[in-house]
Amino acid sequence: MKIAFLVSEVAPYAKTGGLADVAGALPSYLSRAGLDIAVFCPFYKEVKRKGLTLIKAADRLPLPWKGGIELVSVWADPTTPYPICFIEHDGYFERDGLYGDENGDFADNGERFAFFCRAVLKSLKALPFEADIIHVNDWQTAIALAYLTRTALAEDEFYARMRSVCTIHNLAYQGLFPQAILESIGLPGRLFHPEALEFWGQVNFLKAGILYASTVTTVSPRYGREIQTPEFGFGLDGLLRRRGADIVGILNGVDYSAWDPSSDPSLPARYTSADPTGKAACKRELFKEFGLPVPRNDLPLLGLVTRLAGQKGVDILIDAFGGIFALGAKIVVLGEGDSALQNAMLAAGERYPSFLGIKICFDEGLARRVYAGSDMLLVPSRFEPCGLTQMYGLRYGAVPIVRITGGLDDTIEEYNPADGTGTGFKFAEPSAAGLVGAIRRALSAYSRKNVWAGIIRNGMAREFSWARSAGRYVELYEALAAK
């Protein structure tokens, strides 16, 4: 069975968040399960700059676009066990940033990703790669299904038999653009209709995925239920309820070959669950790397690794700083994103210089050192479709403190002092008091060394295996192909 996997970022080539980790790992497990998979991603400047030796899989395919003809080349990495293909268009992708820069989102994002999708569909025929399933991810690629099912491609027998899966990694981002975009990206004007892509006077790219996919998936079972409620539905809950029977929640996994503290080259010392001594060295180095005094006594260190966005509950944490520092804990924050949140963080850093270390940047190695050096990992999200950082925290022995929402609830079990089971600490109320309450419970367990060592062991032993989750995607694809 052939699967074309369309995605706007893929690790380790181009990454802004968890979507890239998923796109880097899931296809490799699907390939190992015997599927013939090809991943398609834009050929961004940062991929070009990596100096990879790529081969040209398709050369200057003519694609009608905005009244002219664009030439599309497809590049592939010959070193991977399945093709990872990059769609080249310098006008759209040869710039700093994947989705935007310091001035905000790029104004032509709708056109950029629509072009990418249209070009992938074109290249499938040229390669040729006659996909049984087109698997799209989030709004950037959901729009591919409008081309597949609502244009002349639907009458072309090469495309007509293709089935599709749309995975929602985050419903908060829908890809909203003015009505006029339909004409510029070559989609029929009749799609500007509430039963099609129209959404409160705009064109909604994600709606194309929700309406036209054979099956809609999301990245944890609880988030699959949450998005069908007004609280988490971002205006699409009615539509999602209508498709409720076709919505499947499949938990993301972790690529433990890439996330392993016993072999991670970015750490100052390596360790295992059986011999965690190296973790103490990671903690010491982390204090230094964040410019915090290394405490003489053993003080708990809490870490946060996140996009700085409203979703992540960063405001809750900022409100809680005073209460947390009063308990004697220190915090390191690695994050980048929303400028108001960046400034609020930096201001807090100035207020609590000996308690709080802050780095505003995106740094993969540093993220790993935070997981390794922290005693606890904070994930106070207001909503979280799956969340990967809490799972990395578990594997690196940083006990997660999470809000009860989405995938955080599905992956973390509250520590139970009665029988020593559990992997973390959870709170429901999205407030500083809720967060500080969970931290207080965690610190009380931390003060008893044996108890704490047991919680770390419980977490490091947890397996969120991609093999199992990939198996669920395989079943889904097979069921669709058989229809």
Interface positions with ligand ADP (CB under 6 A): 17-19, 21, 305-307, 334-336, 362-364, 367, 386-389
Q: How far is the CB of 374 from ligand GLC (least distance, A)?
A: 19
Which pair of structure tokens corresponds to residue 236? 């699409």
Q: How far is the CB of 423 from ligand ADP (least distance, A)?
A: 16
Residue 310 Cβ, how far from ligand ADP at the closest point, in Å?
12
Residue 393 interacts, among ligand GLC, ligand ADP, none and using kind-specific CB cut-offs from 5 to 8 Å, with none
- Residue given tokens 């209709």 in the structure block: 193
Minimum Å gap between C-beta 174 and ligand ADP is 15
The CB-of-190 to ligand GLC minimum distance in angstroms stands at 32
Partner that binds at residue 336, options ligand GLC, ligand ADP, none, CB closer than 5 to 8 Å by kind: ligand ADP
Nearer Cβ to ligand ADP, position 93 or 371? 371
The residue from 4, 17, 86, 92 that contacts ligand GLC (CB under 6 A) is 17
Residue 382 binds ligand GLC (CB under 6 A)? no
Give the position of tokens 């599309």: 72
The H or E element that residue 199 is part of is: strand 198-199
Tell which residue, 302, 346, 348, 351, has the closest CA to residue 327.
302
Residues 6 or more apart whose CB falls under 8 angstroms from that of 337 comprise 306, 307, 308, 309
The CB-of-272 to ligand ADP minimum distance in angstroms stands at: 21
Q: Is 169 in the site for ligand GLC (CB under 6 A)?
A: yes
Q: Segment 240-279, which members bind ligand GLC (CB under 6 A)?
A: 252
Residue 219 binds what, of ligand GLC, ligand ADP, none (CB under 5 to 8 Å, by partner type)?
ligand GLC
Segment near ligand GLC (CB under 6 A); pick from 13-21, 110-118, 125-133, 369-377:
13-21
The DSSP string of 94-135 is: SSSSSSEETTEE-TTHHHHHHHHHHHHHHHHHHTT---SEEE
Q: Give least dist CB 233 to ligand ADP, A.
A: 18
Question: Both tokens of residue 269?
Answer: 């010392």
Residue-wise burial string across 18-53, b where 16 or more C-beta atoms lie within 10 A, e elsewhere: bbbbbbbbbbbbbbeeebebbbbbbbbebbbeeeee
Backbone angles phi, psi at 254, to 5 degrees: -125, 140
Tokens of 423: 């992997």
Contact assessment for residue 132 and residue 1, using Cβ atoms and an 8 Å cutoff: yes
Q: Of 352 and 362, which CB lies nearer to ligand GLC in the complex structure? A: 362
Contact set with ligand GLC (CB under 6 A) = 17-19, 22, 169-170, 219, 252, 384-388, 407
